């Protein structure tokens, strides 16, 4: 049984055709997910039950169910509902691409919101007390003290989450999209060479993961200039 | 709603399949995780390198891809081996259950490796020294001091890995395992109510993950019971 | 003795506070006049920190009245913010904003609370940094400073807001011994300039030289108040005697 390296080399360019879609999914879902996460976080820490409850339910549902199922519910499931089919958003919601973006954003938003909450909880209580003692108001404390520190604390976990997001984009291939995994599956169906093709695809994903990790590592180092080296 | 009643049986058996896959995969991933952690903590540079490569590759590769490589790759390999023995054999593959359980165990095992490694390193060396000073043997120290402490430290992350594992099992439906996602797909083609059917799948998963979360919380409380009440 | 010491600036009347089952403060009564320097001492858990933290509402008292600079402390946010502008606090663990440079630590409240423009705030900040003898550390981050320097920055930060009263919660307890005096010297100068202050501390030498009034607390109550001379030479209560014996002996 041969491992056909030339096949690997040949198929990488073809798979890179899929990278455009992978990156679009990644960037859009991360951006929308981040916005959702911030809104959800603010709702979670607001202390008002009518804001906390929906946020908590949203997080609970999206962290407790598989992404694949979430994608299927949005892509296959929503068309069952009349008000969706006849609504203004229908042209968007029938596209597998947008269904994936929505699913990945909602999923990402739930996870990132918990990550940010962890960052917020990591801010030393004493520092916030000092700010209150100076007369700095609650919202000012959140913007000028809590947020910068919480963001720095969240970076490692956020970096991991972004890598998860890259991996999740592969699920788009289950709803007919030709992202990198989708292209890979097509090629394998033609060539019956699963090892070569899928390993080639995996290596591209690994390179992306590595780049993300390095990127966030640099960002974290920059933001940690003021932290004492122990 | 009435559509659901007819399918309750199928969903139930599908859920049983999910739980079986979960159990098998969990056991495999813990074994892989312990072996991996041992390799990473060992003094052998070769072991370190292999385990290091393993964790990087399996934490950075999409789960779906790993699943596809294991399933289709195993089929290709097994078929090739079988054909070299008996040329008349056309095709051999492993059942999706085992391919899936193994693939997911490989993935989650990589995360378990990191968790166990961190937890072992987190055991206070002072405690180990105290045990030795009291005369406990290496093995006794390992069993009575290292493992309980490591377990307590590993628990929160271990709980998260269990949840990931549970949710990853849904992917196995892609290679044909007849579990609840598969049931929903079948039910949809008959009833044309995909939203209902897939929502049920989501809710079943939600129940299982909730039970796991509660169990882990209870275990954490138990493992940390000696710490409660300190100011 | 000066004429300025007439009007009460802080009044605590029958203040009680509990944390769950634990009675932290029981019927605490205290009046602080403008320009008065008060040192509060006592064993741990006696309620000293709780009491001063109630004064700027970092803790909420359960019953009784607290009046600061003429305003009574209630749940009203307006009142709390107004009180906090007049009361400066220095914490045991400094609590400097780690992500901001020293100069920004000082100007943040000036810009946000007093709405001062940046350049003016900077000038004020530099003035107070000079007052605590570390003007050259302005562009450093707190983590780059020693403990004594950090605490002096904390004092400067509180002073920037021009408070009527300064509260010190064990300001030197977290410092290495060689850095204690640099902080106490700054506090002594403040006292000599007439700043009204309440200081919770174990530094009895400092207390003897600076305090107008010593307050001894034990188990949530004020046991004894007296000027330092009387307090140290002739304590009235047995509990006071016991405490003084413990801390002054070793």
> Chain-wide mean pLDDT for chain A?
90
Say if CB C10 and CB C73 are below 8 A apart. no
Q: Does A198 touch chain B (CB under 8 A)?
A: yes
Contact at CB, B202 and A65, closer than 8 angstroms = yes
Query: At residue C2, does pLDDT exceed 80?
Result: no
Instruction: Give me the percent of chain C exceeding a pLDDT of 90.
Output: 76
Contact at CB, C109 and A227, closer than 8 angstroms = no
pLDDT value of position C185: 94
Of C84, C100, C142, the CB nearest to A132: C84
pLDDT value of position B203: 95
Secondary structure (H, E, C), C144-203: HCCHHHHHHHHHHHHHHCCCCEEEEECCCCCCCHHHHHHHHHHHHHHHHCCCEEEEECCC
Distance CA A166, CA A162 (A): 6
Query: At residue C44, does pLDDT exceed 50?
Result: yes
Say if CB A179 and CB B61 are below 8 A apart. no
The mean per-residue pLDDT over the stretch B113-129 comes to 89
Distance CA C39, CA C217 (A): 11
Instruction: Give me the percent of chain C exceeding a pLDDT of 70.
Output: 97
Query: Tens digits of per-residue pLDDT, A177-186?
Result: 999 999 999 9
Helices (H), C56-101: 77-86
Query: At residue C4, does pLDDT exceed 50?
Result: no
pLDDT value of position B231: 42
pLDDT value of position C69: 86
Distance CA A21, CA A47 (A): 40
Pairing of strands C71-72, C63-68: antiparallel
Say if CB A185 and CB A110 are below 8 A apart. no
The mean per-residue pLDDT over the stretch C18-47 comes to 92
Min Cα distance C89 → chain A (Å) is 6
Query: Tens digits of per-residue pLDDT, A193-217?
Result: 888 889 889 999 999 999 999 999 9
Say if CB A107 and CB A162 are below 8 A apart. no
Min Cα distance B186 → chain A (Å) is 13
Cα–Cα separations (whole angstroms), residue B6 to A81, A102, B3, B11, C172: 21, 31, 6, 10, 74
Of B61, B173, B194, the CB nearest to A76: B194
Q: What is the dihedral of CA A206, A208, A209, A214, to 10 degrees?
A: 120
Q: Which residues of A touch B18 (CB under 8 A)?
A: none
Query: At residue A229, does pLDDT exceed 80?
Result: no
Q: Which residues of B touch A205 (CB under 8 A)?
A: 60-62, 65
CA geometry: angle B47, B52, B54, nearest 5 deg: 100
Q: Does C172 touch chain A (CB under 8 A)?
A: no
Query: At residue A1, does pLDDT exceed 80?
Result: no
Distance CA A39, CA C200 (A): 42
Cα–Cα separations (whole angstroms), residue C38 to B84, C207, C234, C240: 95, 8, 18, 16
3-state secondary structure of C222: strand
Q: What band does B2 get if pLDDT is binned at 50, 70 and 90?
A: low
Q: Does A2 touch chain B (CB under 8 A)?
A: no
Contact at CB, A137 and C161, closer than 8 angstroms = no
Distance CA C118, CA C121 (A): 5
Q: Which residues of A touch B188 (CB under 8 A)?
A: 76
Contact at CB, A134 and C87, closer than 8 angstroms = no
Say if CB C68 and CB C87 are below 8 A apart. yes
The mean per-residue pLDDT over the stretch A106-126 comes to 94
Q: How many CB atoms lie within 10 A of CB A173?
A: 26
pLDDT value of position A152: 92
Query: At residue C3, does pLDDT exceed 50?
Result: no
Query: At residue A47, does pLDDT exceed 90?
Result: no
Min Cα distance A45 → chain B (Å) is 22
Residue C231, both tokens = 């307090």
Chains C and B are touching, with contact defined as 3 or more CB–CB pairs separated by less than 8 Å:
no
């Amino acid at each position: 049984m041969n491992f056909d390296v030339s096949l690997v080399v040949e198929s990488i360019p073809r798979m890179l055709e899929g990278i455009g879609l992978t990156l679009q999914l990644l960037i859009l879902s991360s951006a929308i997910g981040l916005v959702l996460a911030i809104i959800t976080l603010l709702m979670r820490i607001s202390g008002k039950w009518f804001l906390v409850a929906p946020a908590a339910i949203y997080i609970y549902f999206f962290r407790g169910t598989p992404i694949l199922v979430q994608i299927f519910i949005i892509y296959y499931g929503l068309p069952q509902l009349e008000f969706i089919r006849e609504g203004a958003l229908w042209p968007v919601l029938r596209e597998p691409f947008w269904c994936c973006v929505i699913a990945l954003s909602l999923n990402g938003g739930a996870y990132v919101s918990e990550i940010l909450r962890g960052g917020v909880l990591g801010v030393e209580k004493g520092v916030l007390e000092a700010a209150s003692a100076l007369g700095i108001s609650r919202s000012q404390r959140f913007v000028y003290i809590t947020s910068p520190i919480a963001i720095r604390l969240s970076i490692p976990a956020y970096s991991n989450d972004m890598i998860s997001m890259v991996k999740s984009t592969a699920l788009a291939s289950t709803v007919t999209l030709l992202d990198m995994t989708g292209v890979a599956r097509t090629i394998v169906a033609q060539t019956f060479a699963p090892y070569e093709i899928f390993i080639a695809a995996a290596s591209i994903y690994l390179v992306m993961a590595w780049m993300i990790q390095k990127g966030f590592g640099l960002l974290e180092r920059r933001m940690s200039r003021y932290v004492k080296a122990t | 709603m009435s559509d659901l009643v007819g399918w309750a049986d199928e969903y139930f058996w599908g859920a049983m399949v999910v739980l079986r896959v979960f159990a098998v995969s969990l056991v495999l991933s813990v074994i892989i995780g312990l072996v991996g952690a041992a390799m990473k903590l060992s003094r052998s540079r070769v072991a370190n390198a292999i385990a290091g490569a393993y964790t990087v590759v399996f934490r950075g590769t999409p789960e779906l891809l790993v699943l596809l490589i294991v399933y289709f790759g195993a089929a290709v390999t097994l078929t090739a081996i079988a054909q070299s023995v008996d040329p008349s054999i056309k095709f051999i593959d492993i059942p999706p259950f085992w391919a899936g359980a193994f693939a997911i165990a490989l993935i989650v095992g990589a995360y378990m490796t990191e968790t166990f490694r961190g937890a072992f390193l987190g055991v206070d060396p002072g405690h180990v020294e105290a045990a030795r000073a009291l005369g406990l043997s290496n093995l006794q120290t390992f069993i009575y001091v290292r493992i309980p402490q490591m377990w307590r430290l590993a628990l929160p992350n271990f709980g998260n890995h269990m949840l990931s594992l549970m949710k990853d099992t849904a992917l196995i439906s892609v290679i044909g395992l007849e579990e609840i996602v598969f049931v929903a797909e079948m039910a949809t083609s008959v009833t044309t109510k995909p939203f209902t059917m897939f929502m049920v799948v989501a809710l079943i998963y939600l129940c299982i993950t909730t039970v796991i979360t509660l169990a882990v919380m209870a275990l954490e409380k138990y493992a940390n019971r000696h710490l409660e009440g300190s100011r | 003795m000066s004429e300025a010491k007439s009007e009460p600036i802080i009044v605590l009347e029958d203040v009680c506070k509990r944390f769950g089952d634990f009675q932290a403060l029981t019927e605490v009564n205290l009046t602080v006049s403008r320009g008065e320097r008060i040192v509060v001492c006592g064993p741990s858990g006696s309620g000293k920190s709780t009491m001063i933290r109630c004064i700027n509402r970092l803790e909420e008292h359960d019953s009784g009245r607290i009046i600061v600079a003429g305003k009574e402390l209630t749940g009203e946010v307006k009142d709390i913010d107004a009180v906090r502008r007049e009361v400066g606090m220095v914490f045991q663990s400094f609590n400097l904003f780690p992500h901001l440079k020293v100069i920004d630590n000082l100007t943040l409240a000036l810009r946000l609370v007093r709405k001062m423009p940046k350049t003016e705030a900077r000038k004020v900040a530099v003035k107070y940094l000079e007052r605590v003898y570390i003007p050259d550390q302005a562009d450093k981050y707190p983590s780059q400073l020693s403990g004594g320097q950090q605490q002096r920055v904390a004092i400067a930060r509180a002073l920037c807001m021009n408070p009527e009263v300064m509260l010190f919660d064990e300001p030197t307890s977290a410092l290495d011994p060689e850095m204690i005096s640099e902080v106490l010297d700054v506090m002594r100068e403040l006292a000599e300039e007439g700043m009204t202050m309440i200081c919770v501390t174990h530094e009895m030498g400092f207390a003897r030289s600076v305090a107008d009034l010593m307050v001894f607390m034990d188990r949530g109550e004020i046991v004894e108040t007296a000027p330092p001379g009387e307090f140290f030479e002739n304590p009235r209560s047995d509990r006071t005697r016991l405490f003084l014996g413990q801390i002054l002996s070793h």
